[in-house]
Amino acid sequence: MTAETILYIIIAAVIAFAVAVFMYGYKAQQSGKQRWLYGILRFLSLFALFLLLINPKLKSETYSVEKPKLPVLIDNSSSITELNQASNVNDILSQLRSNSDLNDKFDISYYTFGNNLNSNDSLSFSERNTNINKALSSLNSVFKSDTAPAVLITDGNQTLGTDYEFGTSGFKNSIYPIILGDSTQYTDLRIEQLNTNRYAFLKNQFPVEVILVYNGATSANSQFVITQGGTTVFRENVAFTELNNTRALSFTLPANSVGLQRYTAQLIPLGEEKNKTNNVKRFAVEVIDQATNVLIVSKLIHPDLGALRKSITSNEQRTVTFKNPAEALPLLNDHQLVILYQPDGTFANLYEEIEKLKKNTLTFAGMETDWDFLNAIQQNFEKDATYQSELATAILNMNYGTFAVEDIGFDDFPPLRTAFGALEVTIPHESLLDQAIDGFASESPLLATMELNGIRDAIWDGEDIWKWRAQAYLNTGSFEPFDDFIGKLVQYLASTKRRSRLEVTSETFYYNNSSIKISAQYFDSNYVFDPRASVTISVTNSETEEQRTFPMLLKGNFFEVDLSSLAAGDYRYSVAVRDEAVSRVGNFTIMEFNVEQQFLNADVTKLQRLATNTGGQAFFATEGELLTGALINDNRFQSVQKSEQKIVPLIDWKYLLGLIALLLSLEWFIRKYNGLI
pLDDT digits (tens, 9 = 90+) for 267-304: 999 988 888 888 999 999 988 887 889 999 999 999 99
Q: Please list, in sequence order, all residues whose beta carbon lies within 8 angstroms of the beta carbon of residue 565, skipping any fewer than 6 positions away.
A: none
Question: Which of 337, 342, 343 lies closest to 312, judged by CA?
Answer: 337
Taking the C-alpha atoms of residue 622 and residue 32, their distance in angstroms, rounded to an integer, is: 86
Q: Which residues pair with 518 in a beta bridge?
A: 561
Averaged pLDDT of the chain: 88
- Among left, alpha and beta (phi > 0; psi -120 to 50; other), residue 90 is alpha
Q: What does DSSP say about strands 535-541 and 150-154: parallel, antiparallel, or unpaired? A: unpaired
Taking the C-alpha atoms of residue 15 and residue 13, their distance in angstroms, rounded to an integer, is: 6
Indicate if the pLDDT at residue 24 is higher than 90: no
pLDDT class for 30, splitting at 50, 70, 90? low
Question: Which of 129, 108, 103, 105 lies closest to 117, judged by CA?
Answer: 129
State the first-to-last Cα distance of the chain, in angstroms, to the nearest integer: 41
Question: What percent of the chain has pLDDT above 90?
Answer: 52
* DSSP state, residue 415: P
Mean pLDDT of 157-167: 86
pLDDT digits (tens, 9 = 90+) for 530-544: 888 999 999 999 999
**Which of 53-62, 133-142, 353-362, 422-431 is the least confident region?**
53-62
Mean pLDDT of 239-268: 92
Taking the C-alpha atoms of residue 250 and residue 20, their distance in angstroms, rounded to an integer, is: 102
DSSP-derived 3-state class of residue 53:
helix
Taking the C-alpha atoms of residue 30 and residue 44, their distance in angstroms, rounded to an integer, is: 19
Taking the C-alpha atoms of residue 324 and residue 347, their distance in angstroms, rounded to an integer, is: 9
Instruction: Look at residue 323 in the predicted model and tell me its pLDDT.
Output: 94
Give the type of residue at 412.
D
527, 501 contact by CB (below 8 A): yes
509, 593 contact by CB (below 8 A): no
Between 248 and 185, name the one with better pLDDT.
248
**Which of 352-356, 405-409, 475-479, 511-515 is the least confident region?**
511-515
Instruction: Look at residue 144 in the predicted model and tell me its pLDDT.
Output: 84
Whole-Å CA distances, 305 to 266, 311, 320, 435: 41, 10, 10, 22
Indicate if the pLDDT at residue 78 is higher than 90: no
Instruction: Look at residue 29 in the predicted model and tell me its pLDDT.
Output: 60
Q: Which phi and psi angles does 198 have, rounded to 5°?
A: -75, -30
Q: Please list, in sequence order, all residues whose beta carbon lies within 8 angstroms of the beta carbon of residue 27, skipping any fewer than 6 positions away.
A: none
Instruction: Look at residue 27 in the predicted model and tell me its pLDDT.
Output: 56
State the helix-helix crossing angle for 303-312 and 480-494, rounded to 10 degrees: 80
Mean pLDDT of 37-42: 79
165, 607 contact by CB (below 8 A): no
**Which of 316-325, 338-347, 436-445 is the least confident region?**
436-445
Q: Counting every residue, how long is the chain?
A: 677
For the CA atoms of 583, 586, 591, 595, the dihedral, rounded to the nearest 10 degrees, stands at -40
**Which of 287-291, 412-416, 503-507, 579-583 is the least confident region?**
287-291
Between 33 and 171, name the one with better pLDDT.
171
pLDDT class for 460, splitting at 50, 70, 90? very high
pLDDT digits (tens, 9 = 90+) for 545-571: 999 999 999 988 899 999 988 988 999
Mean pLDDT of 472-477: 89
Whole-Å CA distances, 16 to 71, 359, 644: 59, 89, 35
Strands (E), 494-653: 502-505, 509-511, 517-522, 535-541, 547-551, 553-555, 558-562, 569-577, 583-591, 619-620, 640-649
Instruction: Look at residue 25 in the predicted model and tell me its pLDDT.
Output: 67
Instruction: Look at residue 404 in the predicted model and tell me its pLDDT.
Output: 83
Instruction: Look at residue 208 in the predicted model and tell me its pLDDT.
Output: 94
Instruction: Look at residue 468 in the predicted model and tell me its pLDDT.
Output: 95
Between 571 and 27, name the one with better pLDDT.
571
278, 597 contact by CB (below 8 A): yes
The per-residue DSSP string of 190-225 comes to EEEEEEE-SEEETTSEEEEEEEEEEE-SS-EEEEEE
